[in-house]
Amino acid sequence: MAAACTVAAAIGTAAAAPAVAAPAVAVPAVASADQLAVGEAYMRRYMERTKAPGMAYAVVRGDQVLRQGAWGVDGDGRSMTAQTPFLLGSTSKSFTALAVTQLARAGRIALDDPARTYLPWLRLGAEDTARTVTVRQLLTHTSGLPAVSNSTLTDRYDNSPGGLARSVRDLAAVRPVAAVGQGYRYSDANYMILGALVENVTGETFGGYLRRHVLDPLAMTRSAATTEEAEAVDVPAGHRYYLGRPQRHDTPFDTAGVPYGFLAAGLDDLTHYASAQLGGGRYKDARVLDADAVRQMHTGTANTGHGGRYGLGWKNNTLDGAGVGIVWHSGATPNYFSHVVLVPRSNLAVVVLTNVYALPMDAAFNAGAFDLVRILHGHAPAAAAAEDPLFPRVLAGLLTIAAGLLALLVTTFVGFPRARRRDPARSRRRTVATTAAWLGGCALAAAAAAWLVPTLWGAGFAKVHMWAPDIGDAIVAVVALAGVLALTRIGICAHALRGTRRSSLLR
């Protein structure tokens, strides 16, 4: 935005000045050929830094693609192209918000009506929430509902008819964490409800509505909002990190999860979508929304903290170090990452897609599109984002505990024959005295791994294993080794007791 402001200021000054020659003012270029080349070189380094097996990116001005690239391979070993579909994660929310806003502009819903007006069967953990929460509050994450991404309510891979409605009905047990309208709390539950609302109002499946009213008008032919479409465009496997290295990871398509995170789209398709966002809802000859509605979607009303705000399916803030105002959303599934950044004052958009993701590296993944915007506006990239230290520390701790348990188990087996040769009575005293301590220690190690570690992220074991498989496997190793060690010590204790009893009978 800094360069755009400079241009605007120069134009305004020229219009107001008298007819006297003014000194030339150097105005920084935006998305010049040199900046595009530097940006592409940066994106190749970004791919190396994240170890992405495959990625794609594009820079868009208006309805023109200025530069794009697709490198590496997909999870099935095929070369990446601009048509390769990626799962979008939470970037899908902006599509859901678009669908809801379309219905509002058509007069079929009102954003400030309670959601239950259009979804009469909606039940939530608190009656006040279900009765009063409005459509707008769901869109802006001010419903007071908790983040449910770490529960069994999301990532269910439910592709059977009515799956989305079932997932929303299961929200009946979810307790709000704040009063309706009292602050921003990001939650997939909000967009699950919005997806079901679209279905109830239109009588169509959510994916069917999205296809007819958004994807087809924008010529998004390599996108998927249903399992049938995912099969037709052949969404490939993605990747998760395992001990720092990307490993192929394939999952079923999740039709029930499309409104909040499982829409699929290729790079070319997303450039069409970004063009429509920059063009006030129009892409070439197709219009999916009027310009005023698009501006409302892009305008943040809920304070997200750190200078950011959330609008209707979009975040906005000023990019640090560049003074550039941006409208954006990123998203991830366990094996994909996506990021769309709009710079309305420069009429620019950036799209970045990778077929690998890891929670500890979320900041590093998000940095790619933000830094590309900086470069295109004549600024240097920000300092490299650090990996979240909690994950590697937890993994190192679990592996250390597992190694210690294994060493104790080996030592126990090696020392067992020697224990058998000891005086039975002495063996009994020593074994009985220490068995309880051994069992307590094993129980503590197992509980710390199976309960405490997932609690650090407010999740259950299944979600931890899905998003961080190396930590999940380390948890399994600790629990299994602790169990085997406990059983071994119980066996030694039983043997000692039998030996003592036999010795008493012989006397």
- pLDDT exceeds 90 at position 12: no
For residue 8, what pLDDT band results from cuts at 50, 70 and 90? very low
pLDDT digits (tens, 9 = 90+) for 199-208: 999 999 999 9
Q: In sequence order, which ranges of 323-423 are alpha helices (DSSP H)?
A: 362-376, 390-421
Q: In the prediction, which pLDDT does 494 show?
A: 75
Q: Would you identify the CATH topology of the domain 31-376?
A: Beta-lactamase (3.40.710)
> How much of the chain, in percent, has pLDDT values that exceed 70?
88
For residue 458, what pLDDT band results from cuts at 50, 70 and 90? confident
Length of the chain equals 507
Q: Report the distance separating Cα 197 and Cα 209, nearest Å.
A: 12
- pLDDT exceeds 50 at position 372: yes
pLDDT digits (tens, 9 = 90+) for 387-424: 889 999 999 999 999 999 999 888 887 765 555 555 45
If you average pLDDT over residues 425-429, what whole number do you get? 56
**Which own/partner contact pairs does 128-136 have at CB distance under 8 Å and 24+ positions apart?**
128/179, 128/180, 129/176, 129/180, 132/180, 133/180, 135/100, 135/104, 135/109, 135/110, 135/111, 135/194, 135/197, 136/111, 136/112, 136/312
pLDDT digits (tens, 9 = 90+) for 72-114: 999 999 999 999 999 999 999 999 999 999 999 999 999 999 9
State the average pLDDT for the chain: 89
Task: Report domain extents, the chain.
Answer: 1-28, 31-376, 390-506
Residue 330 token pair:
């990123």
pLDDT digits (tens, 9 = 90+) for 107-165: 999 999 999 999 999 999 888 889 999 999 999 999 999 998 877 889 989 999 999 99
Residue 417, burial from CB neighbour count under 10 angstroms (0-12, 13-18, 19+): exposed
If you average pLDDT over residues 378-387, what whole number do you get? 89
318: helix, strand or coil: strand
Q: Which residue has the higher pLDDT, 119 or 435?
A: 119
Q: Report the distance separating Cα 16 and Cα 119, nearest Å.
A: 55
If you average pLDDT over residues 451-456, what whole number do you get? 87
Q: In the prediction, which pLDDT does 321 show?
A: 81
Q: Report the distance separating Cα 253 and Cα 157, nearest Å.
A: 6
Distance of CA 105 to the CA centre of its chain: 30
If you average pLDDT over residues 227-244, what whole number do you get? 96
Distance of CA 52 to the CA centre of its chain: 16
The answer to whether the CB of 98 falls within 8 A of the CB of 329 is no
pTM of the model: 0.88
> How much of the chain, in percent, has pLDDT values that exceed 90?
72
Instruction: Kindly report the three-state secondary structure assignment for every residue of 360-375.
Output: HHHHHHHHHHHHHHHH
Give every CB contact of residue 317 below 8 A, 6+ residues apart in sequence: 300, 306, 307, 308, 309, 325, 326
